[in-house]
Amino acid sequence: MSTVPAVASSQPVISDEPIFAEVDMAADTSGPIVRATVVQASTIFYDTPATLDKAERLLAEAAGYGSQLVVFPEAFIGGYPRGSNFGVTIGNRTAKGKEDFRKYHASAIDVPGPEVDRLAAMAGKYKVYLVMGVVERDGYTLYCTVLFFDNQGHYLGKHRKVMPTALERIIWGFGDGSTIPVFETPLGKIGAAICWENRMPLLRTAMYAKGIEIYCAPTADARELWQASVTHIAMEGGCFVLSANQFCRRKDYPPPPDYIFSGTEEDLTPDSVVCAGGSVIISPSGTVLTGPNYDGEALISADLDLGEIARAKFDFDVVGHYARPEVLSLIVKDHPTKPVTFSSSSVKKENSEQPLH
């Protein structure tokens, strides 16, 4: 096994079981090795402080095993509201649904904000690069966001999900082209796309053009079909793909009537699995290094031989020698888009520059 159960403990838990994938490395790998971990664990729903405490326990445990990069699932801080419909039907929103959104909004975090500061401090304390899925609060609009931190405790930036899926669109806003970063780090070039936006070819192409080498894919999709998507991305992009998903049982969410799994609540017991995980790490050649895991909460780790990137790109470089820009090209509008801009400051500046008569 290349996984270790994630134990809710205040101290890192050391296991006798090996946690790193049995990857066949050549004696001369010709590239640096990065030890990476994807976290498969559940949010403590409606309790952001407790979720942050849990994140720190898991981060400490991963760091204790020598991990240099740790990736958490989509919406780990703030929670993925699986099964909820927020009382929405076409033309109507219920009072309970509005109250559900108020509580969800209260569980989200401001970026920047005190929770971001704590996450940065955690990354610095345990000397790891941290990729964290959060629900970001910007006024009264929420975004599904990934935050990036370096191992010195610095916040690097964020990616907002550009296209929420299906009913997610009633609770999350849409990211724009200004938050599709790829960060150059000593571990390699790191970026992220969230869940089904990974199925958007043009978004992937933009990230490939930025030179992504370690492609993080936090998700909420536990289906076996998801494995086909992330395997394809690894081969298409010539990059490592690190996909982290939550493993959740019904009891990880508030009980009814406070929280309802619409349409399935009557069939669920407290121990029913409502998200089965499937977290996985895949090499640029499409080889599964570790996972997918469907057994429970776990830390899923592998050693990444970065020399594999060049070997894969020799076969296929989607924005390099395998591109045909004279036939097919992409323009990315990477400036921030704002619904309202104010011209008063520029008008005042222009007036101040007028000569006096």
Annotated active-site residue 74? The verdict is yes
Catalytic residue among 61, 74, 197, 236: 74
Amino acid at 121: A
Q: Name, in order, each residue with C-beta under 8 angstroms of 68's C-beta and a sequence gap of 6 or more.
A: 34, 35, 36, 128, 129, 151, 187
HEC readout, the chain = CCEEECCCCCCCCCCCCCCECCCCCCCCCCCCEEEEEEEECCCCCCCHHHHHHHHHHHHHHHHHCCCCEEECCCCCECCCCCCCCCCEECCEECHHHHHHHHHHHHHCEECCCHHHHHHHHHHHHHCCEEEEEEEEEECCEEEEEEEEECCCCCEEEEEECCCCCHHHHHCECCCCHHHCCEEEECCEEEEECCHHHHHCHHHHHHHHHCCCCEEECCCCCCCCHHHHHHHHHHHHHCCEEEECCCEEEHHHCCCCCCCCCCCCHHHCCCCCEEEECCEEEECCCCCEEEEEECCCCEEEEEEEECHHHHHHHHHCCCCCCCCCCCCCCCCCCCCCCCCCCCCHHHHHHHHHCCCCC
Round to whole Å and give the CA distance between 104 and 235: 37
The whole-angstrom distance between residue 3's C-alpha and the CA centroid of its chain comes to: 19
Choose among 254, 86, 244, 101: nearest CA to 167.
86
Annotated active-site residue 248? The verdict is no
Annotated active-site residue 125? The verdict is no
Catalytic residue among 161, 213, 239, 308: 161
Catalytic residue among 61, 144, 158, 195: 195
Name the residues annotated as catalytic: 74, 161, 195
